[in-house]
Amino acid sequence: MSDNTPTRRMAHYVAEADEGGLGAVDAVRVSERKSNLWLDAWRDLRGRWMFWTAGVFVVLLVIIASFPDLFAPVDPFQCDLKFSNDGPSAGHPLGYTFQGCDVYSRVVHGAGTSLSVGILVTIIIAAMGIVIGAFAGFFGGWIDSLLMRIGDMFFAIPYVLAAVVIMSMFLDNRNILVVSLAIGFFGWPSVARILRAEILRVRSADFVMASEALGVSRVRTMFSHVMPNSIAPVIVLSTVGLAAAITAEATLSFLGVGLPPEFISWGNDIAAAQTRLRTDPMPLIYPSIALSLTVLSFIMLGETVRDALDPKARALR
């Protein structure tokens, strides 16, 4: 090669010096806002008017059901025929029934009965559905097949019809607990199936396999790691199911196989007023409005909670 041949000089690029160092790159940003499923759901719920509307009404209903005498000091069993079908008056804003009972007082005191039945039914359904669905989904095999076939048998029976049959056998011993058991005993399959599907999705996660690799028992792994990450749909379903339980109790009482007349119930009041719907509809309309608003509030609350717990639904808004 001759001396006149130009030489090619390679360009060298040097990255700028990192003044922060590797420690700054690998450091955990503790100032960032923590996040998980429940925190994200709460942040979403705080900005939704439907959640606050339903939540305020539900809280007010719980307070009324817990302390009815504060809102309606008149005895709901104090009836006088001389006030039969009278209109509103001082201290009696909704008038009187055909028997001369205060309509407002009976509507207020009926909230406790309906809410008690709804809560008991929800507890019964959730307890049975969670236990059966958890064991079926986590252990699988013949346990899953057996429990799900039992659930299919209960699915084939309409729980309101089954409750009517059961309550017809206990006409002399009807109370809130018996009605709740009659409704709740046939309502657990839907909870069990939903929880089973969630557990099937969660049990293959890395943290579940890590727990089993550390020697943690399967039952403890199920309740400590799988259940907390699978329970969200059950909470939503229980909220909506509480509204369905209140409706079922009113239906049974309306049909005459629910709570006896000595229990103040919206269903009993609606049944007693139906024969005079054309001449005096107000004693029927007021408990019907209370029942409708209560059911609507729990349904709205369940719908908003369901959307908040669903990351896909949050992403679409």
| Residue spans per domain, the chain | 38-76+103-316
Whole-angstrom distance, CA of residue 62 vs CA of residue 57: 9
Please give the residue that has the higher pLDDT: either 14 or 213.
Answer: 213
DSSP state of 225: I
- Average pLDDT (55-72) is 92
Q: What would the DSSP string read from start to end of 121-134?
A: HHHHHHHHHHHHHH
- Average pLDDT (189-218) is 84
Whole-angstrom distance, CA of residue 129 vs CA of residue 143: 15
Q: Output the pTM of the full model.
A: 0.80
Position 168 pLDDT exceeds 80 = yes
Q: With bands split at pLDDT 50, 70 and 90, how would you rate the model's confidence at 75?
A: confident
Mean pLDDT of the chain: 82
Question: Contact at 8 Å (CB) between 77 and 83?
Answer: no
Q: With bands split at pLDDT 50, 70 and 90, how would you rate the model's confidence at 12?
A: low
Whether domain 38-76+103-316 has CATH 3.30.300.30: the reply is no
Q: What would the DSSP string read from start to end of 176-229?
A: HHHHHHHHHTTS-HHHHHHHHHHHHHHTTSHHHHHHHHTT--HHHHIIIIIGGG
Q: What percentage of the chain exceeds 90 in pLDDT?
A: 22
Position 31 pLDDT exceeds 50 = no
Position 175 pLDDT exceeds 70 = yes
Question: Contact at 8 Å (CB) between 88 and 117?
Answer: no
Question: Contact at 8 Å (CB) between 232 and 295?
Answer: no
Alpha carbon dihedral 144, 145, 148, 149, in 10-degree steps, equals: -160
Position 20 pLDDT exceeds 60 = no
Alpha carbon dihedral 185, 191, 195, 198, in 10-degree steps, equals: 160
Q: What is the pLDDT of residue 90?
A: 84
DSSP state of 28: -
**Residue 14 tokens, joined:** 């040097």
